[in-house]
Amino acid sequence: MKPHQPLAARPFTALNRAVAWSFHSGARKRERLPIPVISVGNLTSGGTGKTPLTQRLAEWLVQQGRRPAIALRGYGGTISPGNAVVSDGKHTLLTAEEAGDEALVHAGRLPGVPVLIGRDRVASGRQAIAQFDCDVLLLDDGFQYWRLQRDADLVLIEAQWLLGERHRRHFPRERLDALQRAQLVVLTRTELLDADQRHQAHALLARHTTPAACICECTFESEGLRDIAGQPLHWNGNCRLVAFSALANNESFFVAARGQRVGIAATLGFGDHHRYSAHDLVQLNRLAAEAGATGFLTTEKDGVKLDTTALQRPLAVLPIRARLRPEAEFFARLRELITH
């Protein structure tokens, strides 16, 4: 079984192939920075877990004594396509409305790591070097960013999408044969597969990757309920919460929410990177009242862009952490790539 490509996705895939060919043919020039570049990307329109895995890589780099910076497009922000510094590693300088939700989550979770946004990620990388003395650049969602050469291309693939079970949610950007460019391939949300499905997924990946590619698995674990400032909350089963999110895969968040020691009275999903309006907050308050809820639960990405004063009940967020397996093999290969 392989992912089906919806008709609506085919022009997008064709455009990516045309851009790729313009660089392969030499019509457009690829540029290299004087520091290692690691891309974290995917083959689909979203929902694979790039944000928590990028954060895990940044943490590992800091532990190795490196000085990483993160560069991303800043999707959904009002400043994009212009370039800007979201965090200097000490202070968050922009709002979620200006920079986009993903950039704000990185800034909040990664003290000491500069975060930059902009369409021109070559310029972001140069600024990170000049202004922050960074010695490695992480590209969040960079697999299709052809202009900048990378030392390591990491591609995430959601397991259920790979097996053809989520093709309507995540439109393909490229075909599976694009995995030939990746040195690191990460199969995500494998906890949702049985043994036979995991075997099928790995066999399918093996047919589309190079023999040298390191194929790993990644699961996402919750870190417990926090308030909007990041402090732990000790809510229990007496709480009844409305869980809501605006992700490419909202159901994955609802599954995680139901795994907490609280009651989930109702759920509500919005489109990926949705900007919450006053009407949306009225709708959430109404839903909470109807469901007899005592509070709200959402993601970090949603929490950074909410006007919490308009919510009539307390709000909790559910941070997610990436867990790699086999972690030692993954990081050994990554170290080899960026050292070389």
Confirm whether 127 is domain-assigned.
Answer: no
Confirm whether 44 is domain-assigned.
Answer: yes
Domain identity same for 210 and 249:
no
Beta-strand pair 184-188/152-158: parallel
Domain identity same for 329 and 272:
no
Across the beta sheet with 320-325, what order do the strands follow?
Answer: 84-87, 115-117, 68-72, 136-140, 37-42, 152-158, 184-188, 214-222, 320-325
Question: So what's the pLDDT on residue 168?
Answer: 47
Closest CA to 310 of 335, 285, 328: 285
Q: The domain spanning residue 212 has which CATH number?
A: 3.40.50
Confirm whether 113 is domain-assigned.
Answer: no
Task: Note down the domain range covering 180.
Answer: 7-66+135-220+322-339
Confirm whether 111 is domain-assigned.
Answer: no
Closest CA to 81 of 123, 38, 50, 139: 123
Give the angle 1-221-3 at the CA atoms, nearest 5°.
15
Domain identity same for 251 and 314:
yes
Domain identity same for 182 and 254:
no
Domain identity same for 314 and 335:
no
Domain identity same for 264 and 165:
no
Domain identity same for 205 and 300:
no
Confirm whether 75 is domain-assigned.
Answer: no
CA–CA gap between residue 6 and residue 327 (Å, rounded)? 34
Question: So what's the pLDDT on residue 7?
Answer: 43
Domain identity same for 62 and 142:
yes
Domain identity same for 327 and 314:
no
Confirm whether 116 is domain-assigned.
Answer: no
Question: So what's the pLDDT on residue 28?
Answer: 73
Confirm whether 83 is domain-assigned.
Answer: no
Domain identity same for 140 and 288:
no
Closest CA to 90 of 115, 65, 70: 115
Confirm whether 80 is domain-assigned.
Answer: no
Domain count, the chain: 2
Encode the chain (340 residues) as per-residue pLDDT tens digits.
445 444 444 555 666 666 666 666 666 788 999 999 999 999 987 778 899 999 999 999 999 999 999 999 998 888 877 899 999 999 999 999 999 999 999 999 999 999 999 999 999 999 999 999 999 999 999 999 999 999 999 999 998 888 886 554 566 888 899 999 999 999 998 888 889 999 999 999 999 999 999 999 999 999 999 999 889 999 988 999 999 999 988 988 999 999 999 999 999 999 988 999 999 999 999 999 999 999 999 999 999 999 999 999 999 999 999 999 999 999 999 999 999 7
The region, left, alpha or beta by phi > 0 then psi within -120 to 50, assigned to residue 43 is alpha
Q: Tokens 């030499």 belong to which residue?
A: 26
Domain identity same for 205 and 152:
yes
CA–CA gap between residue 191 and residue 50 (Å, rounded)? 17
Domain identity same for 23 and 150:
yes
